Amino acid sequence: MRFRNALLLCSLAATLGLTGCSQTTTTAGSPTEGEKVATNQIFSSNYGPVEDHGYAVPGVPINRVDQRFHRQIVDYPTKERPGTIVVNTPSRFLYYVLPGGKAVRYGIGVGKQGFAWEGEAYVAWKQEWPTWHPPKEMAERKPEVARYVDAGMGPGIGNPLGARALYLFNKEGKDTLFRLHGTPEWSSIGTAASSGCIRLMNQDIMDLYSRVRPGRSARVVVQQ
């Protein structure tokens, strides 16, 4: 099960209002061995409320989020080319590789136990304030989302994809149904809280979105 079975559950909404993926309480482990975490710059002041395309993005009480999950520039020596996205699932970090052995590091929420995966993909396209279309397989299990399969859930804070979504395709050019997306559920960052997708605080997915140029060169590597 490389992508599809686990990723069909991507963006699984909680029964309370379909505002995000299902929650657990599993927290992050230790950083990966050999990972350099020296912080060069931290952006803890960048989580205030934002007006974006007519939508009001709530501020994050960032003092209640472990500081290691705040957006920051870190030392990150790697063989990956600048522009590559590396998702380190155990440590709950996403790295956007910069030149000169640096990276932008974001805190993330990852798939809960049983939905873990690893592999490579690329960002085929991206969308501001996306519409959510749950797969038909999800609608068969959860009839309450069936009406969104074709019509979609319109954009907004309650949409499971949040303010931005990056759509991942495999090397054959097929949609994996896996997304990097936003969430207002800041307390889920650093946990295994979703049914497959990688979630970032809305302020962070907006920052990542601005850096990514879709195409096969926008490589995504997911590590377990």
Q: How far apart are CA 135 and CA 139, in angstroms?
A: 7
Beta pairing, strands 175-183 & 198-201: parallel
Which portions of the chain are predicted below pLDDT 70?
1-37, 112-117, 194-196
pTM higher than 0.85 for the full model? no
Question: Quick check: 108 and 116 in contact, CB under 8 A?
Answer: no
Q: Which residues are designated catalytic?
A: 181, 197
Q: Look at domain 39-222 and name its CATH class.
A: mainly beta
What's the rounded Cα separation, in Å, for the pair 105 and 13?
26
Closest CA to 218 of 84, 78, 81, 82: 84
Q: How far is CA 189 from CA 14, 65, 136, 198, 199, in A?
A: 16, 8, 28, 10, 8
Q: Which of 72, 71, 45 is nearest to 59 (CA)?
A: 45
Please state, in angstroms and rounded to a whole number, the distance separating the CA atoms of residues 59 and 183.
Answer: 12
